[in-house]
Amino acid sequence: MKYLILIYGNPATREMWEQLTDAERAAGWGAYAALNKDLAASGELIVTEALTDASLTKRVNSHQGTTMTTDGPFAEVKELLAGFYLVECESEERAIEIAGRIPEAGFGLVEVRPVLDTGGMEM
């Protein structure tokens, strides 16, 4: 089954990251590199990406053939999406185990969400 592991951030965690020493930041990036290597080796990793700053978000609205954009972000939340992993693994428990290795999990900023099975229907 496929699971989307969502990684969030907020101004407080961003500030904490910026206050880390170079060595501490390198250790954080190292944790991601190790996780990526392990998931690639196990065949569970489909894709992972970090997202740019949320201030670069564009909201898209299409109405009666006209597409308009406005600058974002627009989520009415305290945390904004910072990155994700799309994994295919045997169980939700395994997806949660993977998510627990993400540094932001220490702040409660990681979610695991099953991907909708569309039964092979092209979308």
What's the confidence (pLDDT) of residue 77? 63
Count of residues in the chain: 123
Residue 95 CB neighbour total at 10 angstroms: 23
The predicted-structure confidence for 26-35, as pLDDT tens digits, reads as follows 999 999 999 9
* DSSP label at residue 19: H
Q: Tokens 């295919």 correspond to what residue?
A: 88
What single-letter amino acid sits at 109?
L
Instruction: Tell me the per-residue pLDDT of 37-78, one tens digit each, with 9 for 90 and over.
Output: 999 999 999 999 999 887 788 888 898 999 998 887 665 667
Average pLDDT taken over every residue of the chain: 90
Interior angle at CA 49, CA 108 and CA 91, nearest 5:
60
